[in-house]
Chain A
């Protein structure tokens, strides 16, 4: 029997990533920064490639996001996990001589509201995925968001909302962008969009995710 050693190697690595992701995810769920860092450090020792570390982080965050959607993880765990991962990536990206991906150009903001938790979680995940991110801040009006999109010429704008009135204002963002012929994609998130699946379409958004960890797949899909 001929064994393709290359395939065997890939299979082993995938299995290894799966095991490491699970251990890493368990540490994140316990909000155990020290253990999470130990796993990350040992993974870096095993293989100092960005792709390898990124997969461990993204797999873990993806599982935690799905667990939250099923009611098996809390928002606090999602947030703390994101922060731990963001800090680790900040520390290790320079060691790997990796620059953050600057395409597509992505901006993030909170529409009207000053509750920034959702923005913070999504930012952590986007940054953990190696992307550069422009933070437009909280409490913006639709016009202020469109001004930023125009000024920075972003390809994708991520809009976080907390309450229904602000979620409905996304429609104004869409109309103002059309007026100025801006082609940026609008990705929305927050409780109103989770509670009403039709809302995304009603306000003219291009995409929304059930969990924050969906954002990376959405970005890849929109590019």
Chain B
């Protein structure tokens, strides 16, 4: 579970205006985004033709994280804010805490898929406050810290408290309501406290499930439980007494993973090498994706198509990158870097 400093909750509760909420909503956008690079990397690291079910499950989670990021952005726009997506500070410096997370707590890096990664990191990121009883896992929340659930609950409460008037924003840029990518039941315009709270409910539900069921929809477990399925090697099923991971097996073939060196950075690699040019190009493309999203949430919602095009572009670019030897004798290959960059190159230093 991501542990937040309690002061964040206090701050939300003390907010007197929509503007006071901006920084918390911006943090929500950053948090929802921050899970995408580690999840994407784990997905990319799976070799083609192997571990397909695992890849599918992670992919559905990534897509929902993108939805959550969009929802958080729409709420920020609705209360007069401007999502700042394309800055160096927007992307966490992996490995490190996620946005709002307490430094001493969870450290999230950019690594190849492993069961350990799923158990120790991904499940921790998604761990619900009130985890449903699944027999392998039974841990309680630690009350001295706030949780993501509390964070979103506090935002919902404060939005309701502040009321409709914070949504009167005649100059706000258009929100992103892209029915070609997300169903209207999940992505809809935020026009007031009711729609904002309903949207946050979706974020909470898809991430954590509810207190009574791990399923956010029939046959579709929430993120935590999907990761748990992967870790357990079996799909989750409903049983007479609750839920159990005794469904069809989810096979993991450890040989079907590219041995990515964890937390690769551009500067780790010599100029004039394949590793350097490829990691630079990847980082530039990821930065382009963030630029496209920034435009999407700042007046040009149709730019979302370009952003989604970039997602596929990243996928095919990752193919060559993750097969590139790091050339340190370890046999490991180059992992992606999500550094925010302005230029791409890697063959020569600047003029």
Q: Do A and B bind each other?
A: no
B-binding residues in A (CB < 8 A): none
A-binding residues in B (CB < 8 A): none
